[in-house]
Amino acid sequence: MPSMPALGGFIFYGLSTLSDKKVQCFIDGFNLYHAIHDLKLNHLKWVNLKALTNIFLQRSEFLSEVHYFSAIAHHRGVDSISRHTTYLDALKAHGITVHLGNFKKKSMSCRNCGNNWKTHEEKESDVNLAIQLVHQAHIDGFDKAYVLTADSDLLPPMRLIKQIFPNKEIHVLFPPSRKTYTSELQSIGRYTVIKQKHMVKCLLPEECYYNGNRITRPVCYTPPP
């Protein structure tokens, strides 16, 4: 039985049958975040990633798991950290598996003026996604993987899966607002560009609960009237 459509911000899933393709989705969190940020539509940052994935499923496909890869920028302000952790809890409340990397300090210098400074670079998320993607293919966790990214650094694990598991499908979901999409990612399998209209239909509810705690949508993510 195929998944049922979204209703009022919630998703109802039917039971799979033996003929259904088992699907997992792997989401490059920062790639998606920066694409939404470029749209200058903050309310779309409160997107329900399970509902969004479900839009693109075919009738014979059953969504078994959504993996979200990101990292908390502890060097940012308290408000930024609070918004991010609140969103992560809201995703968990909707059955999404969250995998966290880290930010690490990085020394930078200017060759022209000789100035030195410290910055922070996000680490591990791409590697975590690649490892989980190959791992789930190896344990037969999916028949088809949707990979939401525009980062060509994720091509090697996708190519490896196509080589070792030729019967498994990979479908790339490109984030919105990107100006170009690499031909390499387009050639890995089927691909779809996520549009603003898709995300508008898939926002998380204003309130939900995780581990008995109430989660409230940040005010800056409130949809326009």
Q: Which domains does the chain have, with CATH numbers?
A: 21-107+116-221 (3.40.50.1010)
Residue 113 CB contacts under 8 Å (≥ 6 apart), including other chains: none
pLDDT of residue 14: 47
Residue with tokens 């966790």: 141
Give residue-wise pLDDT tens across range 103-146.
455 555 666 676 764 544 566 788 899 999 999 999 999 999 99
Torsion 64-168-128-51 (CA) sign: negative
pLDDT above 90: percentage of residues in the chain: 59
Low-confidence stretches of the chain (pLDDT beneath 50):
1-14, 103, 117, 119-120
pTM of the model: 0.81
Q: Give dist(CA 65, CA 161) in Å, integer.
A: 18
Q: What is the DSSP letter of 70?
A: E
